[in-house]
């Protein structure tokens, strides 16, 4: 039999979060486990920390889980990293920008253009990734053509005294164009779009174009070195540097390093090509076109006259006469060619204060060859 009077339902109050108000009549509402865990953690922090002078909300939040504290720690870490990088120089993996994110230090990354993937600074490098960016075919073609053009000028009898003034005059518009593009971004965008195939990505922002150093190096050797030394130095710059870059990229990973960004494969390639260039010039080009045309007399006389002699001091120690200590013909040509290859390899592998190798290679080759002929010529 059903009861005549229905029993009223007990009211149920659910609190979504712990409450600090005391319960009435000993009633405690249900509390979820996550809320209970937060309440327990907050009570522990209030007991263990000094609560003088701090607000109630800051005391109730766990220190290790506080978003405010995490943000402060992140800002301190970013500031500390930026200060350490500014004191120790640019880091290899980037520098901290004003927004707190890492950004790539383009002006200090000298080997960016050797990376397999372009950065998008030059449009044609992205469009022709393998042809222009990775293998640098247009740049190397221009590099190699200078050697053939120099050989042509020699074979036609053009004296070096007529070439170096032209090179000095060519520096003026090239340097002016670089200064303009560094200070006028629209012109820089136009310049890289037109001549980007001959540039590297490190030359986009604030690094001078390699053509400037190429012209300056050729000018110095043509102006101050003997004719044959200056011509061979330009040939070594044109052909040995290209051979070292090509073979170094192909097989450099399999050989030891001999310097910063230099491999033994590239150095050996520069040596072999340098030996061949010197042998071809002194053994075939000069006897075929220079001597019959009378191009190598007077002020245009060669430093290498086909013979090598030991210095007088060495002859005295050995007790040899001048005739006994003199070699000529093919043996002298072979010795000079080997020395030219050694000088080319050394000048390509060495790094002088970070200077561009288009400047250091011809200058070091000219100094090495001329010094050799001063001692043994």
**Structural element, H or E, at residue 103:** strand 102-103
Mean pLDDT of 159-167: 90
| Residue 244 predicted with pLDDT over 70 | yes
| Residue 123 predicted with pLDDT over 80 | no
Give the pLDDT confidence score for residue 208 in this predicted structure: 86
Question: Do residues 326 and 309 touch, judged by C-beta distance below 8 A?
Answer: yes
Mean pLDDT of 261-275: 92
Phi, psi of 259 (to 5 degrees): 180, -175
At 63, the pLDDT band (50, 70, 90 cuts) reads very low
Q: 42 in a domain, yes or no?
A: no
Phi, psi of 3 (to 5 degrees): -65, 145
Residue 11 has a CB neighbour count (10 Å cut-off) of 6
Number of structural domains found in the chain: 1
According to DSSP, the β-strands at 307-309 and 326-328 are antiparallel
Q: 84 in a domain, yes or no?
A: no
Mean pLDDT of 56-84: 50
Give DSSP secondary structure letters for 295-359. -SSGGG--S--SEEE--HHHHHHHT--TTTTEEEHHHHHHHHHHHHHHHHHHHHH---TT--HHH
% the chain with pLDDT above 90: 32
- Range with the largest mean pLDDT of 12-26, 68-82, 95-109, 340-354: 340-354
Question: Do residues 236 and 277 touch, judged by C-beta distance below 8 A?
Answer: yes
Q: 34 in a domain, yes or no?
A: no
Q: 58 in a domain, yes or no?
A: no
Question: What are 71-92's pLDDT values in tens digits?
Answer: 555 555 545 545 554 444 444 4
Average pLDDT, the chain: 77
Phi, psi of 148 (to 5 degrees): -70, -35
As a whole number of angstroms, the distance between CA 376 and CA 321 comes to: 15
Give the pLDDT confidence score for residue 210 in this predicted structure: 85
As a whole number of angstroms, the distance between CA 317 and CA 301 comes to: 31
| Residue 198 predicted with pLDDT over 60 | yes
Give the pLDDT confidence score for residue 109 in this predicted structure: 39
334 vs 188 pLDDT, higher one: 334
Domain that holds residue 278: 114-376
Question: What are 212-230's pLDDT values in tens digits?
Answer: 999 999 999 999 999 999 9
Q: 93 in a domain, yes or no?
A: no
Q: 363 in a domain, yes or no?
A: yes
- Between 7-16, 200-209, 222-231, 264-273, the lowest mean confidence (pLDDT) is in 7-16
Give the pLDDT confidence score for residue 12 in this predicted structure: 62
| Residue 119 predicted with pLDDT over 60 | yes
Q: 150 in a domain, yes or no?
A: yes
Give the pLDDT confidence score for residue 351 in this predicted structure: 85
Which token pair is 204?
A: 């986009």
- Range with the largest mean pLDDT of 122-126, 130-134, 350-354: 350-354
Give the pLDDT confidence score for residue 204 in this predicted structure: 80
As a whole number of angstroms, the distance between CA 83 and CA 96 comes to: 9
As a whole number of angstroms, the distance between CA 231 and CA 38 comes to: 83
17 vs 354 pLDDT, higher one: 354
Question: What are 285-296's pLDDT values in tens digits?
Answer: 999 887 777 777
Q: 67 in a domain, yes or no?
A: no
Give the pLDDT confidence score for residue 324 in this predicted structure: 87
At 375, the pLDDT band (50, 70, 90 cuts) reads very high
């Amino acid at each position: 039999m059903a009861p005549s009077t229905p029993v009223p339902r007990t009211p149920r109050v659910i609190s979504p979060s712990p409450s600090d108000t005391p319960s009435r009549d000993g009633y405690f509402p249900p509390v979820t486990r996550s809320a209970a865990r937060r309440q327990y953690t907050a009570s522990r922090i209030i007991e263990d920390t000094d609560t003088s002078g701090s607000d109630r909300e800051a005391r109730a939040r766990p220190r290790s889980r506080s978003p405010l504290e995490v943000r402060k720690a992140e800002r301190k870490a970013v500031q500390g990293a930026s200060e350490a990088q500014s004191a120790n120089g640019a880091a290899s993996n980037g520098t901290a920008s004003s927004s707190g994110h890492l950004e790539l230090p383009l002006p200090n990354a000298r080997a960016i253009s050797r990376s397999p993937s372009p950065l998008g600074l030059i449009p044609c490098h992205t469009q022709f990734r393998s042809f222009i960016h990775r293998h640098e075919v247009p740049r190397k073609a221009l590099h190699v053509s200078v050697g053939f053009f120099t050989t042509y000028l020699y074979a036609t009898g053009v004296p070096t005294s007529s070439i170096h003034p032209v090179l000095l005059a060519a520096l003026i518009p090239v340097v002016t164009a670089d200064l303009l593009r560094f200070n006028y971004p629209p012109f820089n965008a136009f310049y890289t779009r037109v001549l980007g195939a001959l540039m590297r990505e490190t030359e986009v922002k604030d690094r001078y174009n390699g053509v400037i150093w190429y012209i300056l190096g050729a000018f110095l050797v043509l102006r101050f070195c003997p004719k044959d030394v200056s011509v061979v130095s330009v040939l070594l710059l044109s052909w040995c540097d290209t051979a070292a870059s090509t073979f170094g990229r192909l097989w450099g990973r399999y050989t030891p390093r001999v310097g910063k960004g230099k491999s033994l494969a590239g150095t050996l390639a520069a040596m072999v090509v340098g030996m061949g260039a010197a042998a071809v010039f002194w053994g075939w080009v000069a006897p075929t076109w220079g001597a019959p045309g009378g191009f190598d007399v007077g002020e245009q006389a060669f430093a290498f006259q086909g013979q090598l002699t030991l210095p007088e001091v060495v002859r005295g120690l050995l007790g040899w006469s001048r005739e006994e200590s003199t070699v000529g013909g093919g043996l002298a040509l072979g010795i000079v060619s080997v020395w030219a290859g050694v000088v080319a390899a050394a000048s390509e592998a060495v790094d002088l204060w970070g200077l561009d190798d288009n400047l250091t290679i011809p200058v070091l080759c000219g100094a090495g060859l001329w010094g050799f002929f001063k001692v043994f010529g």
